[in-house]
């Protein structure tokens, strides 16, 4: 019975580790994406405005566009192994 509990414990802790990695990767991707979007928006304000209008995103601020892309990129980066 002791080995069975140890194996279940290892599986449980491994699952927590994977979940924590996905969570941290997504949060960090969102934060860095928002900062990158804000900075790019300072430099290419008119270009990003035209892009968001063309894509049908309306008046989405650059930092929010960067946060969306950073979240998706952070999630996939942390969930795809090499």
pLDDT at 32 over 90: yes
Does residue 11 contact residue 63 with C-beta atoms inside 8 Å? no
Q: What is the mean pLDDT of residues 32-61?
A: 91
pTM of the model: 0.71
Assign 78 a pLDDT band (cuts: 50, 70, 90).
low
Assign 10 a pLDDT band (cuts: 50, 70, 90).
confident
Q: Which residue has the higher pLDDT, 37 or 7?
A: 37
pLDDT at 19 over 90: no
Q: Render 11-58 in DSSP notation, one character per residue.
A: HHHHHHHHHHHHHHHHHHHHHHHHHHHHHHHHHSHHHHHHHHHHHT--
């Amino acid at each position: 019975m002791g080995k069975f509990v140890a194996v279940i414990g290892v599986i449980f802790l491994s699952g927590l580790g994977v979940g924590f990695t996905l969570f941290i990767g997504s949060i960090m991707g969102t934060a860095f994406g928002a900062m990158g979007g804000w900075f790019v928006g300072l430099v290419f304000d008119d270009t990003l405005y035209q892009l968001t209008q063309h894509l049908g995103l309306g008046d989405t601020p650059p930092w929010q566009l960067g946060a969306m892309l950073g979240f998706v990129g952070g999630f996939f980066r942390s969930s795809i192994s090499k």
